[in-house]
Chains A and B, each alone.
Chain A
Amino acid sequence: TQLLEQSPQFLSIQEGENLTVYCNSSSVFSSLQWYRQEPGEGPVLLVTVVTGGEVKKLKRLTFQFGDARKDSSLHITAAQPGDTGLYLCAVYNFNKFYFGSGTKLNVKP
């Protein structure tokens, strides 16, 4: 069983559409991170959320940590082709970072 379940696995949308991807777990975490990985590159940290209910915005990206600190969502407004990539959530648990399997987003022009 995966510690983190991400959904959907794949998402293909047109430029300008909005979307939300999810990261869920049955465990409680002190913090959660979101990364974006572009083809041929390593993941890049986007944000860390630490407080239940916390909302953070990064331009057109809005990140939310669930009140119970078990889940998180990433919402992208007016997606652009440059948003294409693999979105990964990660948590620190038992002295290690664990990554979800990711949501592969393709934004078509």
Chain B
Amino acid sequence: DAGVIQSPRHEVTEMGQEVTLRCKPISGHNSLFWYRQTMMRGLELLIYFNNNVPIDDSGMPEDRFSAKMPNASFSTLKIQPSEPRDSAVYFCASNFGWEKSGGYTFGSGTRLTVV
């Protein structure tokens, strides 16, 4: 299995532009999670999906952030408009539903820089 695949690996954009981050979870995993990592705040859960349905988006910082999971093999996280404080590494992770002891498999992340 290729693991969780994220694209792009790096994104540099200007303030005000729309940014779309993409994720392909591991085949068969039915839960998908978007995290943001910064030096100041560590790993923060933004939103998670179970069977393609958003379960908890309470971590999404503002209405500028939105996430979709149109099918079991693809999810997007969109920021519109982007701001410099959105600069961070964004991770996607997946696992088997509510399996509490199985842990996550993370992608390699997208490093977003908003200038």
Contacts and interface: CB of A to CB of B under 8 A. Distances in A.
Contact of B103 (A33, A40, A96, A98): A33
- With a 10 A CB-CB cut-off, give which of B55, B91, B100, B105 has the most chain A CB atoms: B100
Contact of A41 (B55, B103, B109): B109
B43 A88 contact: yes
B103 A48 contact: yes
B45 to A, nearest CB: 6
Nearest to A6: B42
Interface string B74-107: 0000000000000000010100001011111111
Contact of B100 (A30, A41, A42, A98): A30
Interface in A2-46: 30-31, 33, 35, 40-45
B100 A31 contact: yes
6 contacts: A33-B103, A41-B108, A42-B4, A88-B43, A98-B45, A101-B42
Nearest to A48: B101
Instruction: Classify chain B's interface size.
Output: 20 to 34
A107 B17 CA distance: 40
Contacts of A48: 101-103
A8 to B, nearest CB: 15
Nearest to A101: B42
B56 interface: yes
Interface string A40-78: 111111001010000000000000000000000000000
Contacts of B4: 42
B101 A99 contact: no
